Structures are given as C-alpha cells and as structure tokens.
Structure 1
C-alpha cells in the first residue's frame, strides 16, 4: 500500500479516492446478491484506494479507474447505464 497510487474519473470529472490501510469495514447486504450473504452482510478487512460514486442521473455514464503499486498496474473502463426509477 505504501507505493499505491491511483485515480478515478466519472464522466471526465476526477473523483477523490480514500486510502484504507487494512481497516475493518462492513459490507452491507444487497437484495439478490450472493456475494453479500446473510441478513446483515459481513465484516472484513479492506485496504486499497476506494472511491464512492455520487448518485447518478438516468442515462449513460463512463467510469475510468487507473492504479499502480510497484510493478502492478490496473486500468478499467466501465460504461454504466442508469435507468429512470419507477414511481
């Protein structure tokens, strides 16, 4: 983690990352998700550079993530589509 750097952008606007260096975190339960299990999710240890997305308006969005630590480099681009909510 000491050498980790990264960036993220949503629709071309930079997002600030938070650094977690092995801190306890709680993963909430999401309906229909096998990964979050149980009635209340689970506790684990999180480390890395994390971003939190703001609520997204309906329509198309692009999320770009870049990171590196020592010889490891990560690059991911996501095309997100948000449907209008149902009343």
Structure 2
C-alpha cells in the first residue's frame, strides 16, 4: 500500500470537520449476513482495506451536507453529498 504514504484527506459534515482514521492495509471483516445462504453459508468475509475512513455520527432529521476531499500521488477525489434524513427513519 505504498500510495498510503502520501495519502491526505478531509471530510466535513454540515461544515464541521470530521476526523479520519488511517488504515494502511489492515485485515477487515465485511458483512454479517442474517441469512447465511446469502453468502454461500458464510457470515461475511475478510479482506484487506486501506485508506482514510470516517464514521458519521447519528444524524438528526433534516438536510445535511457531507464533503469529502482526498488524494494520494496522482489520484484525487472530491465528493459532495446532499443527505436528507426522514424523521420517521432516524
């Protein structure tokens, strides 16, 4: 995961900075299936993950804006999400 050496990034939710965690090629567990037949009898799988990761706090009902910026070497990403949380779904 050599590109992680120069990885930089930021994220903001409704204008408030979110702290990122850096993973440099660690084993991660993906999915836990309620119906094990959906995954061929397995309850998920392991893989290698790397990158800058954020976790969102629970969001209040209403409109929110999530902005993500990042890059490493020649790779760049810039994403803006307009999120709407329904009062009945929070």
Structure 2, unmatched stretches of 5+, are: none
**Residues 63 and 30 of structure 1: CA distance in aligned 2, closer, same or farther (over 3 Å):** farther
Q: Distance in 2 between matches of 1:2 and 1:45?
A: 17
Q: 1:54 aligns with which of 34, 52, 57?
A: 57
Structure 1, unmatched stretches of 5+, are: 32-36
Instruction: Tell me if 1:72 matches 2:75.
Output: yes
Runs of 4+ in 1 over 4 A off after TM superposition: none
Q: Any idea what the Cα deviations from partners look like across 1:8-62, whole Å, max 9, x if unmatched?
A: 000000000000011011123478xxxxx53633221110000000000011100
Q: Which residue of 1 aligns with 2:46?
A: 43
Number of aligned positions between the proteins: 81
Q: SS at 1:84's partner residue? A: coil
Task: Report the aligned-residue RMSD.
Answer: 1.9
Q: Which residue of 2 aligns with 1:63?
A: 66
- TM-score w.r.t. the length of structure 1 is 0.83
